[in-house]
Structure 1
Amino acid sequence: MNDRSLPAIRKWRKVAYGGMQPGFDDNHTDESFLEDMVTNANVVKRDLSKVILDSVSISQYLCTVTLVVLVWTYTLASSISFRSLLLLDIALLVSGFIVLLLTAEMISLNLFAKYILNILYFIIGLYALSPIYHTLTRSISSDSIWALTTMLIVLHLFLHDYTGCTVKAPGSLTNPSFSSNISLNTSIIASVLIASRLPSWQLVFAIVLFSLQVFLFAPFVVYCIKRYSFWLYLWFSLGLVGLTLALVYRLQGFLFGLLLGLLVFITFICPYWLTRIQKYKFEINGPWDEAKLCFDITE
């Protein structure tokens, strides 16, 4: 019999949008299907020391929020007077601008004057609204206020942008993410709720001004320090952690142990776990993935 009389064997080929090929099932694959498979092409190998240094930003901001809560606690207990709070607000504002002038890049006098003017408008508006904030939650029980404030602070910590990606340069901010906006709003609401439990509207003004300086202005100042010198930022963070632990220890020993354990867990245990579980990561890439368009615009 002549070989030409035998039916030709049709070879399967990969067709993206050609429909079914005659003689083959729709889900048919041949031996060449896995030839282009690549494993762990985009997996990043993490270094333990680098991950620990990156986790410092989380521990540092956790201590910052803890300091705010401590000031709230002492103010509610009438351990801090209005004059002391006002001096603290002025000290934070002046020190923040000094750090900004020393560490920020290419800041002009016009931009600095714009900052001052915006903050003055903000302070005047807050001073005018303080009597309203003082009576805002008069019909709500204190237990509900404490529970709601705790949930808002936890949500703020969970959604906060610890990378500082929303800050590029003085006067130049990228569009913040949806989670960052929620985090900032929750901190402001928590500050107002706490302030509404104070005995006078002057204390309301001082405590809200303090809280908003920390939640709004402090992340930008810390970012400028980190961009200027990472080691200066690291020593600043260590000093802030030490100050927070000392103040919490004076308040209560149990809270000191809880905060210390949480800081150790975040700074050392979590990075160790992250680097250890990297060996179990298994990523598969191949021609079945979605196509990635690359354009050459060198001309």
Structure 2
Amino acid sequence: MQSMEADTSGNSSPTQPKWKKVAHGGMQPGFDDNHTDESFLAGMVMNANVVKRDMLKVMLDSISISQYLCIVTLVVLVWTYTLGSTINENSLLLLDISLLGLGFFVLLLTAEMLSLNLLLCYVLNISFFIAGLYLLSPIYHTLTQSISSDSIWALTTTLIILHLFLHDYSGSMVRAPGTPEPTFTGNISLNASIMASLLIASRLPSRLHVFAIILFSLQVFLFSPLVTYYIKKYSFRLHLFFSFGLMAVTLAFAYRLHRLLFVLLFSLFIFVNMVCPYWLIRIQEYKFEINGPWDEAKLCFNITE
């Protein structure tokens, strides 16, 4: 009778079967539900999924963020020069045509799956897009007449910050073959940039001004991620060369506009490309992850025909 009783201490008696791990939710007679023995922690793994990061690689990856910061900064500088009448509508139209031609030229050189039919489809869609934008430019010109300029500047600044904060820097917004669907935050970021462009355009003096500045802004915000994606995919060295060249041009224009803006922008590049990667490497030392037999079981099915 004594041999049939379970040991209240939780250890197996000589007449009891040896304890072993069973499937999730299973029970063994003679043992408590929470019973473990010295072999329970044998399967414990420390930091199995922690990625060891290299400082140089993290710094090179962060260049993509600085690259897009330069693109947005150049757009804001063009807005500023246009509002200050430094750039007229003819110069803006020439800039639009140059950017459009340069973008197609880069795609032809770097895109692997870009056929002639697909290129013609792009040209046709862009033609319809430009025609519709030109027809709607009188509406955009009078869109915010009842709103004060101070409210327009504050709202535009907020939308640009929101755009930068929610922008998908991983490149998933690019609708290229094999890339994932655009994220929800990425769509919000894109809509914020378009809205900011419309607010700025509504403060310009003529319909042609409005058309030219909106076309310029939408070309940059919509198509620059596609162009930079293909440049990086084609050659990482070309991506670095393009990024550093873009930083130099952006800093030069910022210096011409105001020296304080130059200092702030240069400090931002240092922070993004050096300080943030250093922080990321350092905090990896404090990452502590434990995996073991207490994790939820993962079912694996081996289906053979």
Q: TM-score, normalised by structure 1?
A: 0.92
Residue 201 (str. 1) matches residue 207 (str. 2): yes
Pair 1:169–1:6, CA change in 2 (3 A): closer
CA contact (8 A) 1:133 1:192 kept: yes
- 1:36 positional shift: 1.2
Aligned to 2:149: 142
CA contact (8 A) 1:191 1:211 kept: yes
Question: 2:74 & 2:304 partners in 1: Cα distance?
Answer: 52
Aligned to 2:9: none
Aligned to 1:34: 41
Pair 1:21–1:87, CA change in 2 (3 A): farther
Aligned to 2:295: 289
Given candidates 79, 93, 96, the residue that maps to 1:86 is 93
Question: 2:282 & 2:2 partners in 1: Cα distance?
Answer: 63
Instruction: State the Cα RMSD in Å.
Output: 2.0
Question: 1:39 & 1:64 partners in 2: Cα distance?
Answer: 42
- 1:173 positional shift: 5.7
- 1:137 positional shift: 1.0
Given candidates 9, 17, 23, the residue that maps to 2:25 is 17
Pair 1:19–1:204, CA change in 2 (3 A): farther
Given candidates 259, 281, 296, the residue that maps to 1:275 is 281
Residue 221 (str. 1) matches residue 227 (str. 2): yes
Given candidates 220, 229, 252, the residue that maps to 2:258 is 252
CA contact (8 A) 1:105 1:169 kept: no
CA contact (8 A) 1:184 1:215 kept: yes
CA contact (8 A) 2:166 2:188 kept: yes
- 1:18 positional shift: 3.8
Pair 1:34–1:123, CA change in 2 (3 A): same
How many pairs align? 294
Question: 1:146 & 1:37 partners in 2: Cα distance?
Answer: 57
Residue 39 of structure 2: SS of its match in structure 1? helix
**1:95-244 mapped onto 2 (5 Å cutoff):** 95-167=102-174, 169=176, 174-244=180-250
CA contact (8 A) 2:172 2:179 kept: no
Specify the code of the residue in structure 2 equivalent to 1:129: L
CA contact (8 A) 2:172 2:181 kept: no
5+ unaligned residues in a row in structure 2: which ranges?
6-12
Pair 1:130–1:233, CA change in 2 (3 A): same
Specify the code of the residue in structure 2 equivalent to 1:46: R
